[in-house]
Amino acid sequence: MSTQDEPARPVAANDHIQIALIGAGGQGMGDTRSAVQVPGVKLVAVADCYDGRLARSKEVWGDDVFTTRDYNEILARRDIDAVIIGTPDHWHKQASVDAMKAGKDVYCEKPMIHLYKDGPEMIETAKATNRIIQIGSQRVSSILYAKAKEVLASGAIGKLNMVTAYWDRNSSMGAWNYTIPPDASPETCDWPRFEGTAPKIPFSAERFFQWRKWKDYGSGVAGDLFVHLFSGTHFVTGTNGPTQGMATGAIRYWKDGRDADDVVLGLFDYREGFNLSLRVNFVDGGDESESLIFTGDEGTMEIGWTWLAVNRVPREKEPGLTVDTFPKAMQARIEADYAKKYPRKHPEGQAPVGYEKYVAPPGYSDQYDHFKNFFASVRSRKPAVEDAVFGYRAAGAALLSNLSIERKQIMRWDPDAMKLLS
C-alpha cells in the first residue's frame, strides 16, 4: 500500500506532533515560532531554497533539525506528521498536494491559491487522501472575530448592509522591500527550484527575496492582504462569498520595477444583502492600520488590531417632521395628526443605545490560536476551522480584484460552486 493510500493516523494526546517547515522566510519562520509554542509540537525538519535560511533554522531550533533545499526529502520521512507551507504563492498548490499525497497534514499560508485552477485540485486532494489542510488566515480563530460573529447574529446592529475594510501601510518593509543578504547568488540560492512553474529568467536576488512584488510568484495586495479581510468578513457573516466584484488599482509610489499594484480598491456584492468595500494603500501617510467596519441599520461594529467596538444606534420608528416653512395653522394641524399616528413611547420601551468595547487580553495571539486549532484537528481528525473550501472561497473572492483590474471589467463569481462566471 502506498503512503497516499494509508488511512489518516490520529496522533495520541500524549504524543508529539512532529512538523516540518517548507519555506523558511519571514512568514514561515514566524508561523513556526507560533506552532512550536503549542504543547506537544516539535519541529524536526526545514526546507528552503536559500542556504542562509537553512543555517538560521539550525541556529533557532537546534543542530538536530534536518535541513534541505528539496522538500521531497522531507515528505519522504515517515516521522513527520504535518508540514507548514510558507513558500511563495506560486508553490502553495504543488507543495500542499505533494504533502497530502505523502500522508502529511498541511498548514498552508494564505492565499491558498495563486491561480484559480489550484483550488479544485487542493480540495479534491484533501478529500482523496483524508488529510487535514488548514489555510493560514488567522482571523478565523480570533476571539475578537468570534465575538463579532456573536454580536452580528444577535441583531445588535440590525440588518447588515455594508462592510468597509482596509489595510494601510506606510513603510518600505510593509511594501515588501525585504532585505537581500549580501551572499545572494546562484550558488547560495536554488533559483531553478524557486522558479518552479514561473517563467524562466536569469537569477534575480530581488525577485528571490522580494517575490511579492511580482505577479509570477505572488498575488499582489489581493492575495497578501485582501484575503485576510475577505476571510474575516466571511467568517463573521457566514457567507460563502460575493457574487460579483470590481476593482481599480495602480503603482502610485513604489515605481521600483515591480508589477504588483501598491494601491488597490475593490467593491463586491453579496446576495445576503450587503456590499463589501476594500482598500489597501502602501502610500498611506500614517502608521500601518487594519479595520473592518460592519454597518447595520441600527448601528456599527468595528474590529481593530486588538479590539472590537459596537455602537448601537437603533433606527427611528417614525419619519419626523419638517414643517417650519408652512403657516402656523398648517403646522399645528400636521403636528396633531402626526401625534395620533405616532404616539410617544416611554424611553424604557425603546431599544438600548450605547457604545461597548471588547479588548483582547494583553499579549493575545490569534496566530497561536489558529495553530492550536490546526493541531487539535490533526489529533482528532475533525475538520479544520479554515479548510480548503473556506480558503478557496476567500482567495477566489480576493483574486477577483486582480482579474478586474487586468480586464477592466466587473467579474462575476459563483460562491457556492466556486467558479468564475465571467
The Cα 245–Cα 263 span in angstroms is: 17
Dihedrals φ, ψ of 336, to 5°? Answer: -65, -45
Q: What is the Cα–Cα distance from 303 to 309, expressed in whole angstroms? A: 7
Residue 81 CA to residue 191 CA, distance in Å, equals 28
Residue 66 has phi, psi (to 5 degrees) of -75, 135
- Determine the average pLDDT of the residues in 299-314: 95
Rounded CA gap, 25 and 86, in Å? 7
Please count the CA atoms within 13 angstroms of the CA of 16 that sit on its side-chain side: 12
CA-nearest of 22, 126, 56 to 392 is 126
Higher-scoring residue by pLDDT: 344, 4: 344
The grid cell for 331 is 403646522
Q: Provide the sign of the torsion angle of the four alpha carbons 286, 288, 292, 298, taken in this order.
A: negative
Q: Strand, helix or coil at 21? A: strand
pLDDT at 347 > cutoff 60: no
Using 50, 70 and 90 to split pLDDT, how confident is the model at 287?
Answer: confident
User: Could you tell me if 51 and 191 are in contact, meaning their C-beta atoms sit under 8 angstroms apart?
Assistant: no
DSSP string, 74-126: HHT-TT--EEEE-S-GGGHHHHHHHHHHTT-EEEEPSSS-SSTTHHHHHHHHH
pLDDT higher than 60, residue 14: no
Q: Are 11 and 378 in contact (CB under 8 A)?
A: yes
148 vs 232: CA distance, rounded Å = 10
Contact between 22 and 87 under an 8 Å Cβ cutoff? The reply is: yes
Region 368-394: mean pLDDT is 98
Query: Which H or E run includes 29?
Result: helix 26-35
Domains annotated for the chain, with CATH where assigned, are: 3-140+373-380 (3.40.50.720), 146-314+350-364+388-420 (3.30.360.10)
| DSSP per-residue codes, 252-277 | SS--SS--S-SEEEEEEEETTTEEEE
User: Quick one: pLDDT at residue 349?
Assistant: 47
Q: What is the CA radius of gyration of the chain?
A: 25
pLDDT per position as a tens digit, 190-210:
999 999 999 999 999 999 999
Res. 12 pLDDT band, cuts 50 70 90: low
Neighbours of 287 (CB within 10 A): 10
- 3-class state of residue 245 by DSSP: strand
User: Can you spell out the DSSP letters for 136-194?
Assistant: --GGGG-HHHHHHHHHHHTTTT-SEEEEEEEEE--STTTTT-PPPPTT-STTTB-HHHH
> What's the mean pLDDT in 221-235?
98
Cell 446592529 belongs to 157
C-alpha cell at 36: 512550536
pLDDT digits (tens, 9 = 90+) for 230-263: 999 999 999 999 999 999 999 999 999 999 999 9
Reported confidence tier of residue 280, pLDDT bands at 50, 70, 90: very high
What average pLDDT score do residues 220-238 get?
98
Q: What whole-number distance in Å separates Cα of residue 373 and Cα of residue 137?
A: 12
pLDDT of residue 344: 74
Tell me which amino acid residue 47 is: A
Distance CA 113, CA 415 (A): 15
Contact predicate 58/163, CB 8 Å: no
Residue recorded with cell 466584484: 245
d(CA 52, CA 170): 29
Backbone φ and ψ for 35, nearest 5 degrees, come out as -60, -45
pLDDT tens digits, 130-175: 999 999 999 999 999 999 999 999 999 999 999 999 999 989 999 9
